[in-house]
Structure 1
C-alpha cells in the first residue's frame, strides 16, 4: 500500500489492535491512573465507522479490552475520567474522582503566526513550534510542580498531548487544574487583540526566563523558516505589537528600507530598541521587556486551557490511529521532539504492509515508541507502589 486509503481502515484496524496496539502496557497505565478505584471505573469512548459515537464504555482487564476492540473496531479511541462507579452508571449523577492532568497543544492555534502551513497542514518547519512547547512545558511541570510521570504523545496529525499521571496531578480539583494552566499561559486575548503578551516591568519570573532560553535556541531558525516580517502584512503585525507610537514610527521607517530578511529586520529592531532605551529612561522602564514579549507571542506554547481545566473532556488515546492520516499516536521523549521526522512516524498501512518501502523504519519507530511508553508506565508503577506503602505505614501508626 503506497498510499493511505481511509476506506480500508475498518479492514486494517482489527489486525492493528491484535498485533501492534500495546494492550497490556496500556491497561497497566490506565490502572495506575485509576487507582485507588478499579480499572472498570475508567471511561473509554469509541468513535466507530460513519462517526457513530459511544461513550461510557469500560473494561476490567486486558481480555475485556481485546474483546471490545475486536467487536467494535473503533476508528478513534478516547480516554476519560475515573468515576466512583462504572462509567455506564456515571451519566446518572456519579462523581468524577480523578483524571490525569492533560495538555493539548495544536498547531492550528499557531495559524496567526505560522506562514508555512495553515489549518490541518503540518510540516517540519512548523513542527519546531511543538519542539519548543514540549521543552518548555516538560521542564516547567518537573521543576516548578514536581511532577515526574509525564507522557508525551503525538496527536496523529497536527499537535501533541501531554498526560501527567502523578497522584497529586490526577486528584487536582478543577480550580487547581486551572491554576496550573494559567501559570503556563503567557499568551492572552482573542482574535481581535494584536498584543497578547504583557510581562510588566518587574523582574521576570524564573520560569519565563527559562522559557525564553528555550525560545532563543530555535528563534533564528524559526525566523528563517517562517519569515514572519518579510512582507508588508507581516511587518504590519509586528508593528502592532509596539505600544509606543513614536518608537513604532522609528522602527517602521527603518525596517521598510531594509531587505526582506526577518532575521535582519528583527536584529535591527533589537538594536533600535536598545539605543532608544539608553536615550529614554521612561520608555526603558515602561517597555522593559518588549523584545521578550514579541518572542513569546510568536513562539511560546499555545495551550487549549479548557482541555486542562475540565474533567469531562476526553482525549485521544496513545497508540490510537488518526483516521484522517492513518498515523499512530506514538509516545515520544520531549527532548527528542527536535529529532522527529513527520514522514517517519508509523502509519497503520506501512506497519501492516511488509512490502512498503518504509515498513522497516516504521516498525523500528513503533518499537521505540512502545519502549518510551513502557518506561513511563514502569516508573509510574514504582512510584505508586511506594506511595501506597507510605500510606499503609501511616495508617498503621494510628
Structure 2
C-alpha cells in the first residue's frame, strides 16, 4: 500500500491518503466476506527487505488502518475466507469463500509477442491485455451472469480480475476449474506448434464472440508484433497449417512477398479461401483454421491455477509494485484500450509536486478510486438485495 513508500515523505502522506481508498477497500473486503465475519479473511503483508507475513486478519476498519500504519507494508495480498481466524486454525482451516479471480500476465504471451519479453511491457503488447479484458468480461457477464467484476492493473505487466458475486465467491474448486477450463482455448506446451483445435462443428457462440473481439484489434496487433515478419516467424506460422498442400502453397507465395505481416496475412486468407473452394474435402480438417490462428495469437492466456485454487493470495487493488512504483489502479473494462502505461500513477509522482506528471497522475488516481467506489457500491447493493431475499425466503418457510 501507499504507506510503505511514503514513510520518508511524511509531509505528503496526508495528501496521498486522501486518494488512497482505505475505507473503500474495507467495504469491499467486508462484502466479500459475507456472511462470515471479516476476521476470517486472510491478509498478507510484504514489508521492506521482502519480509513476508501471512495469516493476518482484521476485525474492523480501525484495526485495518492501524495495521497498515504500524507495519507500513510495501504490498498487501488478499486471500480466502475461512471457517475461523486464519491465525488460529491455519492447519485445519476450511475455505468458505473466495472471490473468483483471474490473473493474466504478459510473460505468458512471450511465444507470440515480439516487441517485449519477460518483465518488459509497452503500449504495443498492452493490446493483448485489452483483448483479454474484453473477452473475459463479456463472457463472465453474458455466459455466467456475474455482475460485480473488478479489473485491476497488476502494477507491471498484467491485469487481475475479481468476481465478487455471492455465487462466484462460494464456488467450490471443481466449479472454479470448470469456469477456468471454459475460458481456456489455447492448450499445449512449448513444443506444440498448433495449440487451438476448434473441430468442424458449428462454433460455440462464446468462441464466435471472442473472435469478433479479436477482429477489432487483429490488424493493429499483427502490424505491431509482425507475427509473419521474419523467416523464423513465418516458419512458426506455417507449422500451424495442418494441410500439407495448403501449407506449400502459402509458403511459396509468402516467401516471395515483402516482409509486411499484414500483407502476408491478407495473402494467406486469399489462398486459404481459394483452397477451400477447390478442395471441398478439406473443409472438415481446416474449416476454422483462420479462427484458430487468430485465437492462438491473441486469445487470453490465463494462469488457471490462480483461478482454480484457494491458496493463492492476490495483490490488493491500489498496492504499489515494488519494482515499477506503479499503483495497481482499478479500471473500467471498456476503457482498457485507452490506458497508457506512462499515464498510470506511480508513488513517486504522487508524492512529488515538482514532477511534470504529478497533476495528471493525481487525476488518474482519483478516477481509479471512483471506478473502485462504483464497483463497491454495486456489490453492497447486490449483497443487500441477496440478504433481503434470503430473509423473506426464510420467513415464508
Structure 2 length-normalised TM = 0.97
Classify 1:8/1:154 alpha carbon distance in 2 versus 1 (closer, same or farther; 3 Å).
closer
Contact persistence 2:154–2:328 (CA under 8 A): yes
Aligned partner of 2:258 in structure 1 is 259
CA displacement at 1:312 relative to structure 2: 0.8
- Post-superposition CA distance 1:175-204 (Å, at most 9, x none): 000000000000001111111000000000
Aligned partner of 2:333 in structure 1 is 334
Contact persistence 2:199–2:288 (CA under 8 A): yes
Contact persistence 2:344–2:361 (CA under 8 A): yes
Aligned partner of 2:350 in structure 1 is 351
How do 1:29-108 and structure 2 match up within 5 A? 29-108=28-107
CA distance in 1, matches of 2:6, 2:223: 39
- Post-superposition CA distance 1:72-129 (Å, at most 9, x none): 1111110000001111023120111000000000000000000000001110000000
SS in structure 1 of the partner of residue 87 of structure 2: helix
Contact persistence 1:40–1:60 (CA under 8 A): yes
Contact persistence 2:100–2:168 (CA under 8 A): yes
Q: Which runs of 5+ in 2 are unaligned?
A: none
How do 1:1-398 and structure 2 match up within 5 A? 11=8, 15=13, 18-398=17-397
Contact persistence 1:278–1:284 (CA under 8 A): no
Contact persistence 2:154–2:160 (CA under 8 A): yes
Contact persistence 1:318–1:330 (CA under 8 A): yes
Contact persistence 1:10–1:75 (CA under 8 A): no
- Post-superposition CA distance 1:328-358 (Å, at most 9, x none): 0000000100000110000001001111111
Classify 1:8/1:151 alpha carbon distance in 2 versus 1 (closer, same or farther; 3 Å).
closer
CA displacement at 1:9 relative to structure 2: 6.5
CA distance in 2, matches of 1:160, 1:244: 37
CA distance in 2, matches of 1:117, 1:309: 29
SS in structure 2 of the partner of residue 44 of structure 1: strand
Q: Which runs of 5+ in 1 are unaligned?
A: 1-6
CA distance in 2, matches of 1:375, 1:365: 15
Classify 1:390/1:8 alpha carbon distance in 2 versus 1 (closer, same or farther; 3 Å).
closer
Contact persistence 2:19–2:369 (CA under 8 A): no
Contact persistence 2:47–2:74 (CA under 8 A): yes
Could you tell which deviates more after superposition, 237-246 or 129-138?
237-246
CA distance in 2, matches of 1:83, 1:8: 31
- Post-superposition CA distance 1:217-254 (Å, at most 9, x none): 00000111111101011101101101122211111111
Contact persistence 2:146–2:165 (CA under 8 A): yes
The alignment of Structure 1 onto Structure 2 pairs a total of residues equal to 392
CA distance in 2, matches of 1:12, 1:150: 34
CA displacement at 1:19 relative to structure 2: 4.3
Contact persistence 2:200–2:284 (CA under 8 A): yes
CA displacement at 1:8 relative to structure 2: 6.3
CA distance in 2, matches of 1:122, 1:182: 27
RMSD of aligned alpha carbons: 1.4
CA displacement at 1:21 relative to structure 2: 2.1
SS in structure 2 of the partner of residue 161 of structure 1: strand
CA displacement at 1:10 relative to structure 2: 5.2
Structure 1 length-normalised TM = 0.96
